[in-house]
Structures are given as structure tokens and as C-alpha cells.
Amino acid sequence: ISEHRTVGISGMTCANCADANRTSLESVPGVIDAEVNYATDEASVTYNPAEVTLDDLYRAIEDAGYDPIREA
């Protein structure tokens, strides 16, 4: 079982920013894959919903030093 979603990230200005977020997101247990595009300010994350919550993804982005764009 996996689920996919896009999470907005603000504060990225180069490809290394994207890589920092990708590494942090992929370190979350239950995250299967993360792709991050600094030009579109978006992360595409595939994860096991039994292990990962949206807050976990937001926290991983914050831990990398960036700002997740939280959706209501």
C-alpha cells in the first residue's frame, strides 16, 4: 500500500536545497520515494500511509531548514 502527495515548500533557491529536502524526506520511516523540484517549490512524496502522516512530512522539511506550505 502506498499513497502519493505533493507538498509545497518555500525557501528553496537552488538544486542543493531540493536535495536537502529530498534526503530529509527519504529518511522518514515509511517514505518510499521523494522527488523535490526547487523551480516549482514542490515535493512529490510516495509513502506508506500506515507509517507516515502529513505532519511527518512537514517536520522533515522543517528539519532540513525549509518551510512546508501547510494545507488546511
The answer to whether 17 and 41 are in contact (CB under 8 A) is no
Span from 11-19, 27-35, 41-49, 52-60 in contact with ligand 9UX (CB under 6 A):
11-19
- Residue 23 makes contact with ligand 9UX by CB under 6 A: no
Q: What x-and-dash track marks residues 44-63 binding ligand 9UX by CB under 6 A? A: --------------------
Cell 500500500 belongs to residue? 1
Rounded Cα–Cα distance for residues 20 and 56 (Å)? 16
- Residue 14 makes contact with ligand 9UX by CB under 6 A: yes
Rounded Cα–Cα distance for residues 19 and 60 (Å)? 13
User: Residue numbers of the site for ligand 9UX (CB under 6 A)?
Assistant: 13-14, 16-17
